Amino acid sequence: MEHYKKSLIVTLIIDRIAMAAWLICIPLVPFIARWYDVYSNKESIFPQFVSCVYTAMIPAGVILFFLNRLLTNIRKEKVFETENVFCLRVFSYCCFAIAAVSAVMAIWRLLALIVVLAFAFIGLLLRVLKNVFEQAVVLREENDLTV
């Protein structure tokens, strides 16, 4: 059980570091896009790149926020709760949103299709996990009503 708690704390710390990195990256997007344009040896897609990255950063930030909520609930030993099912639902929708934004980016750079496929697959896996959690919540609630 001790290993479980340590792992959870490490995951919470990593999520908070990712939140800080997300905040730091917001003003750096134009510089990264300019760097990409210079070294890509292709036509400039600076405005498209910046627009797509900023758009994708919204669901990415939402994922980080709800991941913190989910991990906090698990730390409080609230595992099979409706709120956690909601968090998993949000994760999957955000992954699909990032996949959609990346699909738009694929108009200019085909390599973005890898991101599309990755996030669509992760979104699909999260939907399955959400459905499993949803059934577990129903079973727990039925079990709690049984006296």
Is the pLDDT at 147 greater than 70? The verdict is no
Full residue range of the structural domain in which residue 40 is found:
2-145
Is the pLDDT at 24 greater than 70? The verdict is yes
Which pLDDT score is estimated for 1? Answer: 63
What is the rounded average pLDDT of the residues 129-140?
Answer: 94
Q: What's this model's pTM, rounded to 2 decimal places? A: 0.89
What is the rounded average pLDDT of the residues 58-77?
Answer: 96
Query: Contact, 112 vs 102, CB < 8 A?
Result: yes
Which pLDDT score is estimated for 115? Answer: 96
Q: What is the pLDDT of residues 25-35, one digit of tens each?
A: 999 999 999 99
Which pLDDT score is estimated for 15? Answer: 96
- For residues 105 and 88, what is the distance between their CA atoms, to the nearest angstrom? 26
Q: What is the pLDDT of residues 81-114, one digit of tens each?
A: 999 999 999 999 999 999 999 999 999 999 999 9
Average pLDDT, the chain: 93
| Secondary structure string (H, E, C) spanning the chain | CHHHHHHHHHHHHHHHHHHHHHHHHHHHHHHHHHHHHHHCCCCCCHHHHHHHHHHHHHHHHHHHHHHHHHHHHHHCCCCCCHHHHHHHHHHHHHHHHHHHHHHHHCCCCCCHHHHHHHHHHHHHHHHHHHHHHHHHHHHHHHHHHCC
Is the pLDDT at 144 greater than 90? The verdict is no
What is the rounded average pLDDT of the residues 27-45?
Answer: 89
